[in-house]
Each structure stands twice: as structure tokens, then as C-alpha cells.
Amino acid sequence: MLLNSPLFERVYCKENTGWFKWIKSRKLLYRSTKQYTFMHVRVPKNFEFDGASIPRFFWRIIGTPFAPDVIIAALVHDYLYRHGHEIGISRKEADTIFRSILRYEGHPKADIMYRTLRMFGSPNYKKS
């Protein structure tokens, strides 16, 4: 699992802000099982993100935005929503990568989170 590796140690919460900072540049590998293609995403050092956008009301059902099985998926997804257009990754691909990481981490609600993103995530994706 990603979070049992040094990856999770590279994320820390900025004091009392609810924002996280990725403190080491690391190449993250995503493998599409449908197309058998490989995609490398490098999240730059000091990239700031706010965890998964899960309303507090749903934390008991889905989990918190800062849970170990969510935080790396949220990091990659936030980066792709802000910079995916620069590297040719669509919103749908970013959402699919998010779901893939959640599944890899064994998150039981990965598909629900994916469908929610597909319904409500569009305003947050930076197109240019």
C-alpha cells in the first residue's frame, strides 16, 4: 500500500489551516488496466492541497478527508485538477486515477466517491 511506504511521511498538515503540503517531489505511477498504458505524475515539492473534499456531514459514512487511505489519492487528484490540462489529463481521467488509488488503498467507498466527483467536481477542474 502507498501509505505504508515513505510516501505518506512526505505529507504534513500546515499548522491549524486544514491545508497539507507535499514536501518531497516523488514520481507516482498510475497504470491503466484497460489500456495497459503507464502514466507518470510528478507532484512538485511544496504543492499545497486540502485533502479530499468530503463534507463533514458525510465523514462518518465515507471517512475523513485526511484518512491515510484517502490522503495520497486526494494529493494526486488535487494536483491533476489544477495542472492536468497542462499534461493532457482530462477531468474524467483525473477522477479515474483518484478512484484507482482509493481502490489500491482498499477504501470501501471508492466507487461512491468517484461517482460524487463525476457529478459535482466539474467547477473545480482547471481547464486552462
Task: Calculate Rg over the CA atoms of the chain.
Answer: 14
The closest of 91, 14, 85, 90 to 47, measured between CA atoms, is: 14
Look up residue 56 and give its DSSP letter. Answer: G
- Is residue 114 within 8 A of residue 121, CB to CB? The reply is no
- Is residue 22 within 8 A of residue 43, CB to CB? The reply is yes
**Per-domain residue ranges of the chain:** 2-120
Please write the tens of the pLDDT for every residue from 12-68: 555 545 556 655 555 555 555 555 455 667 777 778 887 888 888 888 888 888 788
Buried b (16+ CB within 10 A) or exposed e, 22-37: beeebebebeeeeeee
Range among 54-58, 60-64, 69-73, 92-96 rated most confident: 92-96
The whole model's pTM is what?
0.76
- Is residue 85 within 8 A of residue 127, CB to CB? The reply is yes
